Amino acid sequence: MTKRSPPPAKKLNAAELMDWIEDIEQRAMKAVADVQDADGLASQTAVFLGRGGELNRALERLVDLAKPERAEAGRRANQVKAKLESEYGRRREEMRAGMMQAQLQQEALDVTLPGRPLVRGRIHPANQTLRQIIRIWAEMGFQVYRSREVETDELNFGLLNMPPHHPARDMWDTFYTTNPQVLLRTHTSPGQIHAMRQRAPQPIRVVLPGMCYRYEQVTARSEIQFNQVEGLAVGRRITFADLKGTLTAFARRLFGAQVATRFRAAHFPFTEPSAEMDVECFVCGGVGCPVCKGTGWLEVLGSGMVHPTVLNNGGYDPALFSGYAFGMGPERLTMLKHRIEDIRYFWKNDLRFLEQF
Nearer to ligand FA5, 176 or 215 (CB): 215
| Binding window for ligand FA5 (CB under 6 A); candidates: 18-26, 30-38, 74-82, 215-223 | 215-223
Is 134 in contact with 144 (CB distance < 8 Å)? yes
Quick count: other Cβ atoms within 10 Å of Cβ 262? 13
| Binding window for ligand FA5 (CB under 6 A); candidates: 19-27, 98-106, 255-263, 329-337 | 329-337
Which residue type, as a one-letter code, is found at position 98?
Answer: G
Using alpha carbons, list the distances in angstroms from residue 309 to 1, 110, 220, 236: 103, 72, 36, 16
Nearer to ligand FA5, 59 or 126 (CB): 126
Is 57 in contact with 40 (CB distance < 8 Å)? no
List residues bridging with 206 in a β-sheet.
143, 232
Binding ligand FA5 by CB under 6 A: which of 88, 297, 326, 345? Answer: 326
Binding ligand FA5 by CB under 6 A: which of 155, 325, 335, 336? Answer: 325
Alpha-carbon span 26 to 29, nearest angstrom: 5
Which residues, numbered 195-214, are part of the site for ligand FA5 (CB under 6 A)?
Answer: 214
Quick count: other Cβ atoms within 10 Å of Cβ 355? 9
**Structure letter (DSSP) for residue 133:** H
List residues bridging with 327 in a β-sheet.
230, 302
Per-residue x/- track, 277-306, ligand FA5 (CB under 6 A) = ------------------------xxxx--
Q: How far is the CB of 326 from ligand FA5 (least distance, A)?
A: 5
Nearer to ligand FA5, 53 or 209 (CB): 209
Q: How far is the CB of 325 from ligand FA5 (least distance, A)?
A: 4
HSE (side-chain half, CA atoms, 13 Å) at 58 = 29
Per rule CB under 6 A, count of chain residues that contact ligand FA5 = 23
User: Which residues are near ligand FA5 by CB under 6 A?
Assistant: 187, 189, 214, 216, 222-223, 226, 228, 230, 268, 271, 301-304, 325-329, 331-332, 343
